[in-house]
Structure 1
Amino acid sequence: MLDRLPLILSVILIILTMIFIVAYMTLDEETETTWAYHESVEEAGWNPEQLIQARNYYESINSTALMVIHEGKVLLSWGDVTTNTNAHSVRKSFLSALYGIEWEKGTFALDDTLADYDIEEEPPLSGLELRAQLQHLLSSTSGVYLPAGEESWNMRQARPARGTRIPGSYYYYNNWDFNVLGSIYNEQTERDLFEDFHERIAVPLGMEDFSLGNTNYKYENRRSLHPSYLFRMSARDFARFGQLYLQNGEWEGEQIVPEEWIELSTQPHAEVASNNIFDYGYLWWSATAGIYEELGMFSAVGRYGQSIEVIPEYDLVFVHRVDSNHHSFSMTRDSVNDLQRLQLLQLILDAKRTE
C-alpha cells in the first residue's frame, strides 16, 4: 500500500487540478442568475487546458468582463458581468433592433429621405444632404459631414469636407448619422427609444441588470441639435441581446425582432476600406474575410473594447467588456483594441474540440 501511495497522490492531484481548472474557467464569482450554465467546459466540448491560455491572455490585457454563451448556456463568465457600464457604440446595434421592429410594421422604408422626415440641423442641411436615405444613415454612408455628439478625436479628424460625397456612395463612421437615427425614431413613432427597448427587448429577454435608469440623452447643442442616446448595460445582458440575434430574433417562442431584418441588417452594405476583417451593415459589423467570414460572424462593437460577437457556425455568443466608467480609467492606458479583443476570441475558439 505504501508503495502505491505516490501514484494515489498523483491521481488525486490530477483530479483536484482538473476540478480547479473547470471552476476557474467557468465562473469567477457566485451570482444569482437565470442563465443556465454548462456542467463543465470539457463536457461542453472545449479543452480546459487551452482555455487557461485564453484566461491568462484575458488577464494580461485590460478586460474587465467576458462571457461566452454556447448552445444557449454560459460556457465562460470572467470578471464583473453584472455591473452596468457604458455600452458606447454597441448602443447603435440596440437601435437597429428597434428599427427592424418598426420596419416590419411599415413605419419606416429604407428609401425614406431626410427631406421626408423634415430633419433640421444648424447649420441647415443642403439639398444634396436632404437626399440621404434611411438606408444610408443605417450604413453610415449619408454624406452628411457635420459635427455630432460623442465624436472621438479620430472621427473628427477623418470627417470629409462637407458636400464632397453623394449620399450612399462613401462609408465614413459618422455619429451624425447614428444620432439622427435616434431623433427620427422618436419623432416618427411618437415614442421613446429607451422605453421601447426596455418594453420590447429588455423585459421579454429577462435582462437582469438593465433599467431605464441606465439610459440618457446627451445633448451637445454646440455641435448638433440631435442628442446621443447612451446605454449602460452589464456583460450578461449584452449576452442576452447577442443570443437573441443568434436565435434569429426569437426568444421563448416569441419573435422579438423580425428574422428578415436580422438577416438584412447583419449583411454588409458598405465597404470599409480601412478594415481588413469587417464591412458595415445596418448598425452592425459583418465579417467579410478569413475565418470569421467562414463562421458567419457579425458584431456590435464599441469604443475601448466593448463588443458582442455572434458566431452562428459555433452556436456561440462572445461578449467582451472594458469598464470605462471606473474613476481611474484612462483611454490610452486601459483600453482593449480590436486586435487584442479578436486575439482573445481566437484563443477561445481554438480551444473548441473537433471530433
Structure 2
Amino acid sequence: MKKILPLLSIIFLFACAEKEAGLEYISHQESGLESHMLDSLDSFLGSAGSSSLMIMVDGKIAHQYGDITKKHTVHSIRKSLINSLYGIAIEEGLIDTSATLEELGIDDLNTLTKQEKQASVADLLKSRSGVYHHAGAVSEGMLENMPQRGQYAPGEYFYYNNWDFNVLGYILEEATNKTIYALFEEKIAKPIGMEDYAGEFIEIDGENPDSEIPETDGFYQKESSKSKYPAYHFRLSSRDMARYGQLYLQNGRWHGKQIVPKKWIEASTTPHSITNPDYGIAYGMLWYVLYPNENRSTKSYYHTGNGVHMLGVYPGSNMVLIHRVDTESPYSFHQGNFYQMISKVFGSFK
C-alpha cells in the first residue's frame, strides 16, 4: 500500500496539471448561443479571411473557429497586456504613477521641453502626456492626428500616442530590472497557465524594410532615428489571449489567487477620455471602455489591434471575445469585416 500511494499521488497531480493546461468547453445550449447563427458566423469568417475566433462564456469555450494555438502579432493589444504588469508593479511599490518624466530622468533624441518633462506616469497610462515626439511603430493615421510639440500641456488632451506607450515599456523594465517578456511570463503567463507563451524575444530594426517578424513570443522594434525607446510587440495564440481576457473578467483572480489587483482593473477601465460620445466609447488606462449609456446598462472594455484583432471583456454577459487575423502574411480582412464580425457574434446569442 505504501508503494501504491505515491504512485496514486503522481497520477492525481498529473491529472490536475492536464486539467489546468486546457480550457474547458460549454455547450451552445448552456452558453445561450444558437448553432445555426454560429454556422453563419464561421462561414463569414472563412470568406473574410479570419485566422481564428474564440467566444468564452462563464469561463469556458463556447465557440471557436480556426487554429486557436497559432501565434500572431497582437499589434496594439500590447498596451492592454502591459496594463496587468503595471497594476502588479504599482501594487508592489515599484512604480509611482505621480512620478514625472523629469524625476525619472527620461529624455529623448529631440530634447524634451521643461513642460513635457512634467508629464507623469499616470498621464502616459492615459495617453495624455502632451509629449508629441517621434516614436517607433507609428501608423500614418496616428501621424495625421498628432498635435504639434507644445500644443497641449501634460494631462490636458487625449491623443493615442505610441511615444507614451513605448516609454511605459521602458519605465516598467527600469523599475523591475527585467524585460517585459520575462516579466509577463513570470507574473501572468505561468500563473494563469498560458499554453503557448514562453517569453522568447528578439530585437528587429524597424527602419529596415527587409526586417521580418520573428517566430518568437515578442520582439522589440527599434527605430533609432526617431526615438531612444523601442516599441515592444507581443505574439500570442488565441487561447492564451482568451485566458488573459478571462483573468480580467474574473477581476484579476485565477484559481483563488489574486494575480492583478482588482482595484487596478477598476481604475484602469474607468473612462478618462471620451473618444466617441455617439457610441459611448472612452479610453481608460491602456484599455478602451464601452461605458454605460442609454443603449447599454453595464461597462465593457476592449482593445483592438491593427483594426482587425480583438480582445474584448464583457462582464455583463460574462463573456470574453477573441478575434485574430494573420497579419504577418498578405491578408484581406478589413475593418468593415471587423464590425460585421462583432455584429454576428452578438447576433448569435438567443
Q: TM-score, normalised by structure 1?
A: 0.84
Q: Which residue of 1 aligns with 2:279?
A: 276
Cα deviation per residue 1:222-250 (whole Å; 9 max; x = unaligned)?
01000111111111111000000000000
Distance, in Å, in 1 between the alignment partners of 2:33 and 2:114 is 56
Q: Which residue of 1 aligns with 2:316?
A: 313
- Mapping 1:239-254, distance limit 5 Å: 239-254=242-257
C-alpha contact (below 8 Å) 1:87/1:306 kept by paired residues:
yes
* Structural RMSD (CA): 1.9
Distance, in Å, in 2 between the alignment partners of 1:225 and 1:48 is 51
C-alpha contact (below 8 Å) 2:292/2:298 kept by paired residues:
no
Point out the structure with max Rg over C-alpha: 1
**Residue 346 (structure 1) shift:** 2.9
Over the matched positions of the two proteins, sequence identity in percent amounts to: 37
- Mapping 1:23-42, distance limit 5 Å: 34-38=22-26, 40-42=27-29
Q: Which residue of 1 aligns with 2:4?
A: none
Cα deviation per residue 1:263-319 (whole Å; 9 max; x = unaligned)?
111111112158834211110000136687534210022114111100001111000
Q: Which residue of 1 aligns with 2:144?
A: 157
Q: Which residue of 2 aligns with 1:348?
A: 345
Q: CA 1:292/1:59 → structure 2, altered by over 3 Å: closer, same or farther? A: farther
Q: Which residue of 2 aligns with 1:9?
A: none
Letter in 2 for 1:63: S
Q: CA 1:165/1:138 → structure 2, altered by over 3 Å: closer, same or farther? A: same
1:336 aligns with 2:334: yes
Cα deviation per residue 1:144-198 (whole Å; 9 max; x = unaligned)?
0011101111111211111000111111111000000001111122222211100
C-alpha contact (below 8 Å) 1:219/1:227 kept by paired residues:
yes
After TM superposition, which residue ranges in structure 1, 4 or more long, deviate above 3 angstroms? 273-277, 289-293
Cα deviation per residue 1:98-122 (whole Å; 9 max; x = unaligned)?
0000111222222211111110201
1:76 aligns with 2:73: no
Q: Which residue of 2 aligns with 1:288?
A: 291
Letter in 2 for 1:250: R
C-alpha contact (below 8 Å) 1:98/1:196 kept by paired residues:
yes
Distance, in Å, in 2 between the alignment partners of 1:293 and 1:140 is 26
Q: Which residue of 1 aligns with 2:54?
A: 67
- Mapping 1:189-228, distance limit 5 Å: 189-213=176-200, 214-228=217-231
Distance, in Å, in 2 between the alignment partners of 1:200 and 1:190 is 14
Structure 2 unaligned residues grouped into runs of 5+: 1-19, 201-216
Q: TM-score, normalised by structure 2?
A: 0.85
C-alpha contact (below 8 Å) 1:309/1:317 kept by paired residues:
yes
1:142 aligns to what SS in structure 2?
coil
Distance, in Å, in 2 between the alignment partners of 1:92 and 1:162 is 23
Q: Which residue of 2 aligns with 1:114?
A: 101
1:230 aligns with 2:228: no
Q: Which residue of 1 aligns with 2:167?
A: 180
Structure 1 unaligned residues grouped into runs of 5+: 1-31
Which among 312, 323, 326 is matched to residue 323 of structure 1? Answer: 326
- Name whichever of 113-122 and 59-68 sits farther off: 59-68
- Name whichever of 42-51 and 140-149 sits farther off: 42-51
Distance, in Å, in 2 between the alignment partners of 1:113 and 1:104 is 18
Letter in 1 for 2:28: V
Q: Which residue of 2 aligns with 1:95?
A: 82
Distance, in Å, in 2 between the alignment partners of 1:239 and 1:248 is 14
Distance, in Å, in 1 between the alignment partners of 2:74 and 2:265 is 20
- How many residues are aligned here? 315
